[in-house]
Amino acid sequence: MKRTYPLLFIFLLTCVIAAGCLSTENGQSYAPQEESFSFGNKMADMAFDEDRDFLYDAPSNVADSGEATGSSITRKVITTSDVSLEVKNAPEAVDSIGAIASEYDGYVSSSSVYDTYYGDSESMSGYISIRVPAAEHDTVIDRIEALGKVTSKSTSGVDVTEEYIDVEARLSNLEKQEQRLQEILEMATTVEDVLEVEKELSRVRGEVESLTGRLNYLNDRIDFSTITVSVSEPRNITHSWGLRDALSDSVRGFIASVNGIIVFIGVALPIVIFLTVVGSVVIFVKRRVWR
């Protein structure tokens, strides 16, 4: 009887490890393949059936929780929107959008206001990114559009239902596997058995934490929509009937002429000086010869 007990312990640990490997293989396969195992007695077959039922239990829990009931599935969608507005005062519009987000239990994730230049005119522009509850998305968009003139708008949705159910099912399987390992750990009688179970338990806990983090991220992106708004002030248009442009062109032409004269003088002056010196020498020599 004492020899049978360690063998039974090792057999149970092997079944749990095999179940964990199969439940996470390729991120999608949850059911073990029967041909991968060879058991020599009826107890082995019963243990295999127990692990198989354990692995198939998570998807049914998803259905019981309301995520999928028969052919009806609650879709998990990540919604994002981009809006461009023309407003009278960009800084005030950015502040107003932030206040709207707070009013609907949302928050500002980032914002900025800066100067923009169009020729001689100067105006303010900016952007703000907010997160608001998905249920209030359309209402918030309507409030934002009322702040100015909409120049562009786009909304997109990413369906993550398949990934969400997959992560949830894998997490459920791993949590049950962790519980099974805890039970086996209590049955361990030798240091070697304890270390082997704790090693597998540490691996399972790491995967549970990783999947829990991913599930929390998906829930945050699904529950809160992201709205990014770009705001800009209209350009200042001035009518000068062409006089200012004509005066500006004449000034630029005068400056260009002066620059040309300076360049010409700079090039011609050394030549003139050289010719003057040579001519003076020639005239001086001729006068000396004629004398």
Render pLDDT for 208-259 as a digit per residue (tens, 0 to 9): 999 999 999 999 999 999 999 999 988 765 555 556 667 777 878 888 888 8
Render pLDDT for 29-45 as a digit per residue (tens, 0 to 9): 333 333 333 323 333 33
Beta strands in the chain (DSSP E): 68-69, 72-73, 77-86, 107-118, 121-133, 149-159, 224-232
| Tokens matching residue 91 | 């800084």
Render pLDDT for 257-266 as a digit per residue (tens, 0 to 9): 888 888 888 7
Chain centroid to Cα 204, Å, comes to: 28
Domain ranges for the chain: 4-71+162-215, 77-160+226-232, 251-291
226 strand-pairing partners:
80, 131
pLDDT band at 7 (very low <50, low <70, confident <90, very high): low
Q: Which overall architecture, per CATH, does domain 77-160+226-232 show?
A: 2-Layer Sandwich (3.30)
**Other CB atoms within 10 A of residue 84 CB:** 17
| Tokens matching residue 19 | 């179940």
- Give me the phi and psi of 82, to 5 degrees please: -130, 130
Render pLDDT for 180-218 as a digit per residue (tens, 0 to 9): 988 888 888 888 888 988 888 899 999 999 999 999 999
Taking residues 122-146, report their average pLDDT.
93
Q: Nearest CA to 37 among 8, 12, 15?
A: 15
Q: Nearest CA to 231 among 98, 107, 89, 105?
A: 89
Q: Nearest CA to 48 among 5, 25, 14, 78?
A: 14
Model pTM?
Answer: 0.57
What is residue 58's predicted lDDT score, i.e. its pLDDT? Answer: 41
